[in-house]
Amino acid sequence: MLADDRWAEPANRVEMVIKTEEARVPDCTSRARGQRPMDHPAGPQVGGPSRRPKSAASTGQIRIAGLTRRRGILRCAPFGFRARLHDMKHHEVIVVGAGVAGIYQIKRLADLGIDATVLEAGGDLGGTWQWNRYPGARFDSESYTYGYSFSRELLDEWHWKERFSGQPENLRYLNHVADKFGLRQYMQFNCRVDSAHYDEAQNLWRLRIDDGRTGDQRELSCRFLILTLGLLSIPTLPRLAGMESFKGQSFHTFDWPHEPVEMAGKRVAVIGTGATGIQVIGEIADKVGELTVFQRRPNWSAPLNNGPISDAEMADIRRRYDEIFASCARTPGGFEHEPDRRGFFEVTREERLALWDKLYDGPGFGIWLANFKEIFTDEKANSEFSEYIADRIRRRVKDPKVAEKLIPRDHGFGVQRVPLETRYFEAYNRPNVHLVDISETPLVSATETGLRTSERDYEFDIIVYATGFDAITGAFDKIDIQGVGGEKLADKWRTTISTFLGMMIHGFPNMLMPSGPQSGSASTNYPRGIETGVNWCTDLLEYMAAKGYTRAEATAGAEKRWTDHVTNMYAMMLMRKAKSWFTGYNSNVAGHEQGTIRYLVYNGGAPKYVNTINAVAAKGYEGVVLSADRGAPPSGSQPTVVV
């Protein structure tokens, strides 16, 4: 994303700051260091080798910014803390979600020796790549830009087999990371967090957890709550009558069965033509008996141009990793694809066509992100480019009537998230693939044997719902999150989303979201964004530990400035007009239907976002009130109140 706007510096800041002496807080946890958490589930949960990093088990010294302090400082709680919590289990940090962000977050915390656990609703780690097992699920990011960058050893030992790697390999990778760094021991699976309430008096979060293995409810508490819930982790189904009556197999792509689904010879329906539907359709068209696609609105799409990565290519990638990550850090999208800096209207039409031909035949998001930046902001430029892509579709789809139906009319190329495809348009040239335009003949209901439109009944063996997600905020809404004074996050966000840097929320102290709404993650190459977010949140914890702070809360003013900044940037982007999850649209979620823009993503690009959050940190977390617990200063500290 390319919007440009200034992040206004706050004019005034009034904060209560309590300074404490460094490094004198004793480790008062009752659990021996290195010991498995008392409440860690036994039994079937995979327990990796107990390789808790040495740092956690040691009382060694580390030097940060010239100060010497003990490791594990954050383990400490105010006096009397544990006594009051005799009926609960406590961790200094609880991370919710063991996906790409949660895995990296626990790695950082474990390395610092902070007492932390990860709670994951699913049966295993991996998030997106654990759940989405549908045929065709794969990266749209170049694999080697998707992997974590934090470990040279990991980069050197992992061989990405394809330029855009598929779900099974991606899940293997995440498991490899967790096992290599001994991270499973910190994870508790099948644990759904139902509620998280901030207890102002104790300065801690109280969580109620539904333990899927036992069916029991239990409680945990923590000082810091880190939500790595995923952007697209709450699937949404159509509000379609009779869905339960269907006698065949049916599932949302997110809930694709773990066991193989026999599709050969079957009559299969796919509802939805977003990034997911487009991947599924391209993959299964030649493997099923009959495939009927129910399309409400077509999506602009361009070739993925995937291919294998040979040993020699992988060796070259390994040599270039520094350069690769540097270019990801330089580009707005966090990819290798650099925008074409020439002005759209300053070059000739022939030059534009030459670029587009090259990009269309090139890999990945180049067609979107290495394009002229005006296609994001200028109607005329966008329209000329959209027409170019429309012609490409016409050239690939034999039946002109079908081709016209596959060309979007209500939005231009790239103003919604661009799905990348493999053999998608060619699928419609097959005699066994049928396109039903449900904008003309709407779906009326599911039946025992299939689907009914306003025109006729269709019979199926399998119905695939590729109908998207309650994006970005859906996973937050699923948890009853209450902050200071019992304020509910769902209420706060009901009409407008507001955050500070996409990572903190006023009224919800010590709650961090490394990849939250309005953060740099949603609109960029996700792992690049999450590494940035996790590092910032972890650095904040380290800073607090070093200074003896125990409470961090974004100010209302800082939150407003950030939210205004995010909102203003939408004004520059054509995407503000699109019915897409970037604008909070979802026809299946009450209140999120067309008409209400929700300002969910940051459009300033990765470099600007990183500069901004780093500047906030460099100024001692400007915009965040940092303090120590009321009435319970850390042991050994000499608090000084500075107002």
Residue closer to ligand NAP (CB basis): 417 or 598 = 417
Contact 558/615 with Cβ under 8 angstroms?
no
* Residue placing its CB nearer to ligand NAP in the complex, 139 or 562: 139
| Residue 210, phi then psi, degrees to nearest 5 | -95, 110
Nearer to ligand NAP, 277 or 509 (CB): 277
Closer to ligand NAP by Cβ: residue 408 or 533 = 408
Min dist CB 306 to ligand NAP, Å, is: 11
Q: At its nearest, how many Å lie between ligand NAP and the CB of residue 612?
A: 23
Give min distance, CB of 77 to ligand NAP, in A.
Answer: 40
Binding site for ligand NAP (CB under 6 A): 138-140, 232, 238, 271-277, 279, 296-297, 417, 438, 443, 466-469, 581, 587-588
Residue 596: count of CB within 10 angstroms of its CB: 12
Task: Compare residues 142 and 553 and give the one whose CB is closer to ligand NAP.
Answer: 142
Cα–Cα distance measured from residue 367 to residue 360, given in angstroms and rounded to the nearest whole number: 6
User: Smallest distance, Å, CB 576 to ligand NAP?
Assistant: 16
Complex with ligand NAP: residue 104 or 146, whichever CB lies closer:
146
Measure Cα distances from 506 to 92, 208, 421, 617 in Å.
21, 22, 41, 17
Judged by beta carbon, residue 277 or residue 604, the one nearer ligand NAP is 277
Amino acid at 441: T
Asked if residue 189 lies in contact with residue 183, where contact means CB atoms within 8 angstroms, the answer is: no
Nearer to ligand NAP, 78 or 238 (CB): 238
With a CB cutoff of 8 Å and minimum separation 6, the contacts of 468 are 235, 236, 272, 274, 276, 581, 586, 588
Extended beta strands in 439-566, E state: 443-446, 450-453, 457-459, 462-465, 480-482, 511-512, 551-554
* DSSP helix/strand/coil, 187: strand
Looking at the Cβ atoms of 238 and 303, the one nearer to ligand NAP is 238
Q: Which C-beta is closer to ligand NAP: that of 331 or that of 550?
A: 331
Indicate the residue type of 44.
P
- Identify which of residues 444 and 572 has a Cβ nearer to ligand NAP in the complex: 444
Of 518, 541, 543, whose CA–CA distance to 604 is shortest? Answer: 518
Nearer to ligand NAP, 59 or 441 (CB): 441
Rounded to whole angstroms, the maximal C-alpha distance in the chain is 79
Which residues partner with 504 through β-bridges?
500
CB of 334 to ligand NAP, least distance (A): 13
CA angle 70, 639, 635 (to 5 degrees): 45
Is the CB of residue 102 less than 8 Å from the CB of residue 514? no
Closest chain position to ligand NAP (CB): 274
**In the complex, minimum distance from the CB of residue 253 to ligand NAP, in angstroms, rounded to a whole number:** 6
* Least Å from the CB of residue 278 to ligand NAP: 7
Q: Least distance (Å) from ligand NAP to the CB of residue 4?
A: 23
3-class state of residue 631 by DSSP: coil
Distance CA 629, CA 634 (A): 8
Nearer to ligand NAP, 167 or 221 (CB): 167
Tell me the closest approach of the beta carbon of residue 549 to ligand NAP, in angstroms: 36
Structure-block tokens of residue 378: 């200028």
Smallest distance from the beta carbon of 609 to ligand NAP, in angstroms?
Answer: 18
**Least Å from the CB of residue 506 to ligand NAP:** 28
| Minimum separation from the CB atom of position 512 to ligand NAP (A) | 23
Burial bucket for residue 132 (CB in 10 Å: 0-12, 13-18, 19+) = buried
Nearest to 117 by CA among 228, 231, 234, 230: 228
CA-based nearest residue to 474, from 230, 190, 224, 191: 230
Q: Give Rg (Cα) of the chain.
A: 25
**Least distance from C-beta 122 to ligand NAP, angstroms?**
17
Q: How many CB atoms lie within 10 A of CB 247?
A: 10
DSSP 118: E
Question: Alpha-carbon torsion 230, 601, 581, 489, what sign?
Answer: positive
The first and second tokens of residue 42, run together, are 């036994």
Q: Helices 167-180 and 100-111: crossing angle, nearest 10°?
A: 10
Phi/psi-derived region of residue 21, left when phi > 0, alpha when psi is between -120 and 50, beta in every other case: beta
Smallest separation (angstroms) from ligand NAP to the CB of 368: 12
Structure tokens at 12: 């005034």
**Choice between 137 and 155, CB closer to ligand NAP:** 137
